[in-house]
Amino acid sequence: MAAKRRLSSRKNRIGYIFVAPFCFGFVFFLLIPIIQSFIFSLNEIKLGQSGYTLTYLGWSNYIRAFQVDPTFRMDLVQSIGQMLLDLPIILFFSLFSAILLNQKFHGRTVARMLFFLPVIVSTGIMVMMESNNPVYSMMMDRSVADAAASMKESANSMELVLSLLGDGLPAPLMDYLVQVIGRLYDIVIASGLQILIFLSGLNTIPPTLYESSNIEGATAWENFWKITMPMVGPYFLLNAVYTIIDSFTNMNNVVISTIRGYIVSFSDFSYGAAISWIYFGIIFLILGLLTALISKKVFYYE
């Protein structure tokens, strides 16, 4: 009994050692700036020779964001609308691609690598290289333009097909499909990590489930809805949360660009801090509602 307690204490100490760097970094590099940003949002900042001074304003900046500044409200609605447009198509495209890449075929590893390549290209280091190196930037712009042109040609063909089928589709669905096809390149770029997460989820499904189902005469369509979808439910939730955060924090997001404009230029730092807190609160609320809704349908396999 004593030996078991010593082993448990040793495991706890090792765990604390591994967690300590994160706790240290969170407190000194994240928590303190977060608290400071909230303090700044409640004050007016004035720069002086000896530093900065704060003049308390209360909730004036928050009231300004909702009642005075129409641009922020429009940008916020646009950001949420774009997320709602992209979320379902990214999730279903990622799941569909993961199912295809999970099949056995020659060159499967290379195909998986190609699907994950956009994640590497869109990382912060690559973006910095692109912005600081004119030659690299020109090469990347050319390759992206060629890829976008190729996808645009495919999108035009798809739009033609949709226009022929348009009489049988509801107008809202038709508009949604046209918007999705027009942003096909962006959707593929935003789906790399989600595909890998779905792949890992598909690999956790015991093959015996499909074997037993096939013996009972189930079709591939029935296997998908009765086995695949329930088993990848936790990964579906994880990808939904990641996609929402990625959409809201993307550097091309209009709200993020507005916040950066206020803070980086120091034109109105306190107001930029205030709208960043409003933005964080809305993201937190949307994530909470989505998690509560999807968690009721998620099946956890033990």
Residue 2 has pLDDT above 60, yes or no: yes
At 241-282, the pLDDT tens digits run 999 998 888 888 888 888 888 887 777 888 889 999 999 999
Q: Which residue has the higher pLDDT, 18 or 2?
A: 18
At 20-63, the pLDDT tens digits run 888 888 888 888 888 888 998 898 888 777 777 888 888 999 99
Q: What was the pLDDT predicted at 120? A: 60
Enter the tokens of residue 237.
């939730």
pTM for the complete prediction? 0.74
Structural domains in the chain, sorted by start:
68-295 (1.10.3720.10)
- 192 Cβ partners below 8 Å, 6+ apart? 115, 116, 117, 118, 119
Longest dimension (CA), the chain: 80
Report the C-alpha gap between 90 and 180 in whole angstroms. 10
